[in-house]
Amino acid sequence: MKRRMRRLGGLAMAAVLTAGLALNVNAVTLNDAQQKADELEDQKDAAEAEKASLAEKLDSIIKNMEDTKSKLDAKKAEVEEVENELAQAQIDASNQYESMKVRIKYMYESGGNQLFEVLMESENMGDFLNKAEYVSQISEYDRNELIRYQDTVEEVEEKEEEIQAEYEELNTLQTDLITQQEEVQTLIDSNEAELAEIQDKIDENSALLAQLKAQAEEEARVQQEMQSGTNWIQGGPNVVSGNGFFTHPCPGYSYQSSYFGEVRDFDPVPHKGHDYAAPAGTPTYAAAAGRVTIAGWSSSAGNWVVIDHGNGLVTKYMHHSALCVTAGQYVEKGQQIGAVGTTGYSTGNHLHFQVELNGVAVNPDLYM
């Protein structure tokens, strides 16, 4: 007897620990937590994939910026070079023009005044060249040199315009790339914040998952220990007593150690059924015909049986030492379903008999 009491005490402590775990996880199931863990991992994978994509995009932008910077530097050098070329061409053309003016002045002083008049009336070198076409006194050499220098200046000016336009285009591209870099960096910062939030949720859920697994393992251990002493027995003959819709589930033992609606010292919740005190092994019977929906172990009800009688009417039989029916089996009124015991949350041998109508516990006396 002492050995059995020690065993029951250990199991009661395990049940209390299990109940405490259940309270801590707010009724979240192991499957719920595992499903959430899978969903969070999927979210993390997606966020990390996005992070990799953004990092690759940023690397591409930075490379383009570096390439564009190199092109800008080269184009800037070209601009400076062509500006120097233009300045030199303008100097050369001006020098040639001044030399020609000296020669024309000499020709005038020597008696050829027509060309000098053209020179004096011209607004610039281009205007002079146009008028000089008609002045035969100008030397072929001077005219050709002036034309050549003028062409050179125009070519260099055009080249400068082209290079400057290319430089501006590259500069605009560089500005656009800087904007893109800032936008992608903003997305990366947002992505990192999202990843950190997901990781926090993963850590929180992992702790919950570990707690639930520990709870499940503890419940399995308790159930295994409790069931190790449970026998499946052969049922005896049917026993029907009384004239009510229900037969008594434990005939011959009408003493109720607890009754429906009673508020006990250790439980502020009103009792949901009748407790019939009876010796261990006393047969228990189906109160009415129906289908067995549960026949097995519960940490609180011990070895128990649940029978569905149809139309929302259900009966429950708890704390058996042994069972003789299985889930899915159809039973007749008065058919033996088990034997009295004290398994689960129990302080002594008895049958807890509970009646529910549409999920709500009702007084069994209404049907007996």
Q: Write the CB contacts of 249 (distance below 8 Å, at least 6 apart in sequence).
A: 276, 284, 285, 286, 287, 315, 317, 351, 353
Structure confidence at residue 139 (pLDDT)? 60
Per-residue model confidence as pLDDT tens digits over 59-81: 888 888 888 788 778 777 777 78
Structure confidence at residue 133 (pLDDT)? 57
Residue 321 has pLDDT above 70, yes or no: yes
Structure confidence at residue 271 (pLDDT)? 86
- The top-scoring range by mean pLDDT among 157-161, 213-217, 227-231, 279-283 is 279-283
Cβ neighbours around 132 below 10 Å, total: 21
pLDDT over 90 for what percent of the chain? 32
Structure confidence at residue 12 (pLDDT)? 39
pLDDT over 70 for what percent of the chain? 76
Tokens of 338: 């088990």
Q: Which of 6-10, 132-136, 157-161, 282-286 is least confident?
A: 6-10
- Give the C-alpha distances (Å, rounded to integers) separating 223 from 7, 18, 33, 38, 228: 13, 11, 22, 29, 8
Q: Which of 153-157, 167-171, 297-301, 317-321 is least confident?
A: 153-157
Structure confidence at residue 107 (pLDDT)? 58
Per-residue model confidence as pLDDT tens digits over 145-181: 777 777 777 877 787 788 788 878 878 888 888 888 8
Residue 223 has pLDDT above 60, yes or no: no
Tell which wins on pLDDT, 110 or 39: 39
Structure confidence at residue 14 (pLDDT)? 40
CA 64 to CA 80: how far, in whole Å?
24
Per-residue model confidence as pLDDT tens digits over 41-57: 999 999 899 989 988 98
Structure confidence at residue 217 (pLDDT)? 82
Q: Which domains does the chain have, with CATH numbers?
A: 1-228 (1.10.287), 232-367 (2.70.70.10)
Structure confidence at residue 246 (pLDDT)? 96
Note whether 8 and 191 are within 8 A (CB): no
Structure confidence at residue 7 (pLDDT)? 36
Structure confidence at residue 266 (pLDDT)? 76
Residue 9 has pLDDT above 80, yes or no: no
Task: Give the model's confidence band at 267: pLDDT under 50 very low, under 70 low, under 90 confident, else very high.
Answer: confident
Residue 366 has pLDDT above 90, yes or no: yes
Residue 227 has pLDDT above 70, yes or no: no
Per-residue model confidence as pLDDT tens digits over 184-208: 888 889 889 999 999 999 999 899 9
Task: Give the model's confidence band at 134: pLDDT under 50 very low, under 70 low, under 90 confident, else very high.
Answer: very low
CA 251 to CA 285: how far, in whole Å?
8
Task: Give the model's confidence band at 285: pLDDT under 50 very low, under 70 low, under 90 confident, else very high.
Answer: very high
